[in-house]
Amino acid sequence: MQQIFNFFIKNSTKLLFLLLLIISFALILRTHTFHQSSFISSANGVTGYVYENVNSIKEYIHLKPENDALALENAELKEVVFNQLTAQDSLEMNRFKPTVDEEVFSVIVAKIIRNTFKTKENYLTIKGGEKQGIESDMGVINSKGIIGIIEKTSKNYATVQSILNVESRINAKIKGSNHFGTLQWNGENTGYVQLTDVPRLADLHKGDTIVTGGISKIFPEDIPIGIIEKAFTTESSNYFTIEVRLFNDMTNLGYVYVLKNNYIEEILDLEEKTHNE
């Protein structure tokens, strides 16, 4: 207690000055409209700045749930689009029986939690596994194009063989044509893959779009992949090798969509029976 008294006695002059300054400032604000208005405006500016930054922080905190909701909404839209395209193909092939029993592809949202792209055999890990209905050999895409194929699964996670993997082989074609090839990666540039075994008769040009082919059980037809950068062949070969610049930046990925072919078991069972005959 004695220390408190000593403090006030020691600093009495300074404290008196501070008290008189506050009283003077208050009297100025009460008797002068201009100063009062200026003070309120300044206070409002400071308060507004604080509120704006607090609101920005709140928006950032709530960004993840909003992104999750958008990803789910996009998945539903993609599912509708894929199955409409499949239904149209069925109608073209069978005009007298225009019925589709059920959806061919289901879409499952997942989040990438690990992505490698510096080795020859790159993989991704996604949050989403058997519990969410994800199985091996399902296609993985995002809003820009294909990412890879599910390799292994656990209860809540799965690994994806990236298209940036020298072991990857995916059926692809030149958009608007039926000239197919095999999409693979030579292990060099993360921005490019190669489409091989495309017949030399194919009419192709720089800038043409490469999409998934219709011969795959894993991907629907016409999923974007990239554009033709250049094509070359040798005198002894009847096939093009095409350098494809990817739409995706494979080093910067977030949400993905896993594609489940609801007819895959029927197709595999039929192929096995045919092979065994």
Per DSSP, the residues of 58-91 read: HHHHTHHHHHHHHHHHHHHHHHHHHHHHHHHHHH
Q: Distance (Å, rounded) from C-alpha 58 to C-alpha 66?
A: 12
Superfamily of domain 64-276: Rod shape-determining protein MreC, domain 1 (2.40.10.340)
Looking at residue 236, its pLDDT comes to 80
Looking at residue 22, its pLDDT comes to 75
| pTM of the model as a whole | 0.67
Q: How many CB atoms lie within 10 A of CB 52?
A: 10
Mean pLDDT of the region 218-236: 90
Length of the chain: 277
Q: Distance (Å, rounded) from C-alpha 262 to C-alpha 134?
A: 12
Q: Distance (Å, rounded) from C-alpha 130 to C-alpha 148?
A: 18
Looking at residue 271, its pLDDT comes to 83
Q: Distance (Å, rounded) from C-alpha 60 to C-alpha 205?
A: 44
| Res 245 pLDDT > 50 | yes
Looking at residue 62, its pLDDT comes to 53
Q: Are 69 and 224 in contact (CB under 8 A)?
A: no
Amino acid letter for position 219: F
Per the DSSP assignment, residues forming a β-bridge with 242 are 195, 231
Give the range with max mean pLDDT: 11-20, 76-85, 176-185, 235-244: 176-185
Higher pLDDT, 42 or 236: 236
Q: Distance (Å, rounded) from C-alpha 108 to C-alpha 200?
A: 38
Element (H, E) at 139: strand 139-141
**pLDDT tens for residues 110-153?**
999 999 999 999 999 999 999 999 999 999 999 899 999 999 99
**pLDDT tens for residues 144-203?**
999 999 999 999 999 999 999 999 999 999 999 999 999 999 999 999 999 999 999 899
Write down the mean pLDDT value for the chain.
78
Name the pLDDT band for 254 (thresholds 50, 70, 90).
confident
Amino acid letter for position 74: N
Report residue 277 as tokens: 């005959």
